[in-house]
Every structure is written in structure tokens, then in C-alpha cells.
Amino acid sequence: MNLIELLSEIRTGGGEIKVVGHDLRLRVPAGLLSPDDKQVLRAHRQDLLRLLGPAEQVVVDEEREAIQWVEALSPEEAEVVVETALREWRDLVGWAETPVVDPVKEAEVVEWDDCVDPPPPCERCGSLELWQTAAGSWHCQRCDPPIRSEMLRLRAARLRREAAERLADPSVLMYGAKGRTMV
């Protein structure tokens, strides 16, 4: 069966084909299409999109007209036009070839003497996660965390514990322990 006969059969059978965006939507009664019919529809998908889809809108603007003008030229004439446009563009913006840079020659050399020595690792745990007080002394983040971060760590542990309780028992309130309300 060809495409025209198939479309006629779909219409007389109570089905419909429409285009939504770039997709074909097909609604037909069950059993109306055979596997061969479906294969014909797949093979002619692009044709159906063009046939049933919205007509292309013709937008009149200078850029589109210029493209159509260039497309109408012979390949030799089009090449001359493009080369002229590129030359004029380069003259207009002062474009020049980008110089090739050798990364080895241009690399910044840093002497080790210019670098700041890192503080020594923690004597208890060997960690390099250190923090510095305003007075300039170094402390281990694991062994001697700052007070604010310790408070945040304890609060996070409490929230994790409460979340686990809430998952285990749905009667636990969102915030706070069972039976306690937070204001």
C-alpha cells in the first residue's frame, strides 16, 4: 500500500495524524494499521512532516536577502564576494594574525625562595588541615577545630540524628525531638 492510500484508510477508519512541534502524532483505532503500514509511515516521516506541518514563514530582512543573493551567485563569484567581505572586516576591526606563543619561553619562572613555607603537620594526627587564629598561631582542624566550626559540626550531627529518627518514626516533628515543639 502506498502512502496516499494509507492516509485515506486512516482517515476513513476514524484516525488522525497531526504534527506537534517536530513530531508526528498518530491516533488510530486499534488493529487498523498492520506492521507493514507502520513501516510505510516510518519511511515517509519527513514527507509527512513537510506535508502536514505549518508552512514556512518568509521573513523579509536584509540578512536573509543577502544570503539569497549570495546563493544565486556562481561558486566563483560567491568566493570573490566572501573574500572581499573578509578583507573588509579585517581592515575594519584591525584584525591581524595571532602570533604563535611558545609556552616554554613565555612561562613565568617562580623561585622557591619566593614561596611561603607551609606550616608543619599536626603532631598528634599528622593532618595538613590547619587553621590560623587572628593572632597567627596554627591549629589542627581535626584535633583542635575552631569553636564556630565545632558548633556547626555538632549541630550537623544532631540534625542527621533527628532526620534518622524522623524517617524511622513519622510522628517525630520536623524540628526537635518527639513531643517537643520548636517556636
pLDDT in tens, 84-133: 887 877 777 665 555 667 777 777 776 777 677 777 888 888 888 887 77
Q: Does residue 138 have a pLDDT over 70?
A: yes
> Angle 75-93/62-72 helices, nearest 10 degrees?
140
| Of 18 and 58, more confident | 18
Closest CA to 20 of 42, 53, 44, 55: 53
Dist CA 69 CA 50 (whole Å): 25
Average pLDDT, the chain: 76
Which amino acid is present at 180?
R
> Angle 35-43/3-12 helices, nearest 10 degrees?
120
Residues with Cβ within 8 Å of 28's Cβ and at least 6 positions away in sequence, in order, are: 10, 13, 14, 15, 16
Per-residue model confidence (pLDDT) at position 30: 86
pLDDT for 58-84, tens place per residue?
445 666 676 677 677 788 887 887 788
Per-residue model confidence (pLDDT) at position 100: 65
Per-residue model confidence (pLDDT) at position 60: 54
pTM of the model: 0.31
**Which pLDDT band holds residue 173 (cuts at 50, 70, 90)?**
low
Per-residue model confidence (pLDDT) at position 183: 42
How is residue 36 written as a grid cell?
Answer: 507493514
Per-residue model confidence (pLDDT) at position 69: 72
In this predicted structure, which of 119-123, 132-136, 167-171 has the lowest mean pLDDT?
167-171
